[in-house]
């Protein structure tokens, strides 16, 4: 094996960090979307006295928003 063969097999640091940033973006996006829905629903339930309906509704909307963002992420990568 020559020195060039070893260099071609190892991923470059820039590619590794880019992949790590991509996966951390996915986790933060999902967590933020769901957490926003839960907190907004809980606050509105306390304010309007509709417990637990708005919490459930906004939680499901947060999950839906996280799926929508996840499916849009590969299109933004171009």
User: Which has the higher per-residue pLDDT, 53 or 12?
Assistant: 53
> Given pLDDT bands bounded at 50, 70 and 90, which one contains residue 75?
confident
Contacts of 70 (CB under 8 A, 6+ apart): 26, 29, 30
> Given pLDDT bands bounded at 50, 70 and 90, which one contains residue 7?
low
CB neighbourhood size of 6 (10 A):
9
Distance CA 3, CA 18 (A): 25
Contacts of 61 (CB under 8 A, 6+ apart): 37
Report pTM. Answer: 0.73
């Amino acid at each position: 094996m020559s020195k060039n063969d070893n260099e071609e097999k190892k991923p470059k640091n820039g590619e590794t960090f880019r992949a790590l940033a991509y996966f951390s973006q996915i986790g933060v996006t999902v967590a933020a979307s769901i957490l926003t829905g839960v907190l907004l629903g809980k606050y509105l339930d306390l304010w309007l006295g509709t417990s637990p309906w708005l919490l459930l509704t906004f939680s499901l909307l947060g999950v839906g928003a996280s799926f929508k963002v996840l499916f849009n992420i590969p299109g933004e990568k171009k």
